């Protein structure tokens, strides 16, 4: 297990548009866009110093929920693999990959390959999933998703660490099977655990290299970070952990000192990565804001703390 954000740094990333188009957050202009526009956004983030770009994960949206979620959810691994070829520095994050949907060896092979083709830029963000009807479609027990995720993380980590992993868990016993390619990053891609529940916080503390909130924690962000750090110390000792926050929409055209000061407040409670978002009227408007964030806001973020 290893944190990847340098100590004292406050980094920033964003979830990409177009790849997923839930009505809860997609802008109208995204509906007519495709891979060229998605690549343009990823390249803009790469040029603007974004630590990562993230994409979501769903397999098949039940018709009863398609009205709010839409059915536009591009395959996570295919999308990230393409983005690896059109970017150079930004890391490639799943926010989040629903690990219980797959056998963990299948997941491990996909992420070992992504780490190889991206030359060590993969971040495996994992979560338990929340759409019960989608679990039913895939033949996975929704009630067991937490247990499947915990064991799945353990198997994936074993496969990242060893060409011939060994795991004696109740659901996924593994032995005498080899996986290549081997990862570029020592120990494999970092595992960032998603979710804002108390169970997700415990899972991140016990099994994660980082934490990815999904919505505001019920206990509040400050209390959640304190809980995470306390449980981390109790279970993993002094191993560092990367801690994220969803900042909500940022307007990089406002007074840059004011915007940066508002973002730095998260560092004061122990956060070291900001997942920012922007409201946009068009692709051109979004690209303008990404560039402005990199030139006007990012230099004022300074060090964490």
* Structural domains of the chain ordered from first start: 11-301 (3.20.20.30)
Per-residue buried b or exposed e for 7-22, using 16+ beta carbons within 10 Å of the residue's own CB: eebbbbbbbbbbbbbe
Q: Quick one: pLDDT at residue 79?
A: 98
Q: Quick one: pLDDT at residue 2?
A: 84
Residues 16 and 87 sit within 8 Å (Cβ to Cβ): no
State the Cα–Cα distance between residues 179 and 201, nearest whole angstrom.
30
Q: Quick one: pLDDT at residue 305?
A: 41
Q: Quick one: pLDDT at residue 302?
A: 78
Q: What pLDDT digit, counting tens, does each position of 46-69 carry? A: 999 999 999 999 999 999 999 999
Cis peptide before 34 (omega within 30 of 0): no
Q: What pLDDT digit, counting tens, does each position of 149-200 carry? A: 999 999 999 999 999 999 999 999 999 999 999 999 999 999 999 999 999 9
Query: What average pLDDT does the segment 110-138 reach?
Result: 98
Given the structure tokens 């989608």, which residue do they identify? Answer: 134
Mean pLDDT of the chain: 96
pTM for the predicted model, two decimal places: 0.97
3-class secondary structure, 245: strand
The confidence band for 39, taking pLDDT boundaries of 50, 70 and 90, is: very high
Percent of the chain with pLDDT over 70: 99
pLDDT at 303 over 80: no
Query: What average pLDDT does the segment 87-100 reach?
Result: 98
Short-list 39, 29, 25, CA closest to 70: 25
Q: Quick one: pLDDT at residue 179?
A: 98
Within 10 A of 128 (CB to CB), how many other CB atoms are there?
A: 24
Query: What average pLDDT does the segment 201-226 reach?
Result: 96
pLDDT at 130 over 80: yes
Least confident of 81-85, 95-99, 299-303: 299-303
pLDDT at 304 over 50: no
Query: What average pLDDT does the segment 34-51 reach?
Result: 98
Q: What pLDDT digit, counting tens, does each position of 245-301 carry? A: 999 999 999 999 999 999 999 999 999 999 999 999 999 999 999 999 999 999 999
Per-residue buried b or exposed e for 245-271, using 16+ beta carbons within 10 Å of the residue's own CB: bbbeebebeeebeebbeebbebbeebb
pLDDT at 224 over 80: yes
Q: Quick one: pLDDT at residue 138?
A: 97
Residues 16 and 46 sit within 8 Å (Cβ to Cβ): no
State the Cα–Cα distance between residues 26 and 245, nearest whole angstrom.
20
């Amino acid at each position: 297990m290893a944190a990847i954000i340098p100590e004292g740094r406050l980094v920033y990333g964003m979830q990409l548009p177009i790849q997923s188009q839930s009505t809860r957050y997609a802008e109208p202009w995204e509906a007519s866009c495709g891979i060229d526009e998605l690549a343009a956004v990823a390249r803009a983030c790469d040029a603007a110093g974004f630590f990562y770009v993230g994409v979501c994960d769903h397999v098949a949206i039940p018709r009863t929920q398609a009205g709010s979620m839409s059915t536009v959810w591009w395959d996570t691994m295919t999308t990230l693999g393409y983005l690896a070829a059109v970017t150079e520095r930004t890391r490639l994050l799943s926010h989040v990959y629903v690990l219980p949907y797959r056998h963990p060896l299948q997941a491990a092979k996909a992420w070992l390959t992504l780490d190889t083709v991206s030359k060590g830029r993969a971040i495996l963000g994992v979560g338990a999933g929340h759409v019960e009807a989608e679990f039913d479609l895939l033949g996975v027990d929704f009630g067991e998703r937490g247990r499947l995720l915990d064991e799945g993380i353990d198997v994936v980590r074993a496969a990242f660490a060893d060409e011939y992993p060994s795991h004696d868990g109740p659901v996924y016993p593994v032995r005498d099977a080899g996986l290549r390619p081997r990862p570029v990053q020592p120990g494999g891609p970092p595992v960032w655990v998603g979710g804002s529940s108390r169970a997700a916080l415990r899972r991140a503390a016990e099994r994660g290299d980082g934490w990815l909130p999904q919505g505001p924690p019920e206990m509040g962000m400050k209390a959640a970070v304190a809980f995470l750090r306390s449980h981390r110390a109790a279970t993993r000792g002094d191993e560092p952990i990367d801690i994220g926050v969803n900042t909500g929409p940022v307007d990089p055209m406002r007074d840059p000192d004011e915007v940066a000061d508002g973002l730095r407040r998260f560092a004061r409670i122990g956060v070291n990565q900001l997942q920012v978002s922007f409201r946009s009227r068009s692709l051109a408007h979004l690209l303008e804001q990404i560039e402005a964030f990199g030139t006007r806001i990012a230099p004022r973020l300074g060090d964490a703390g």
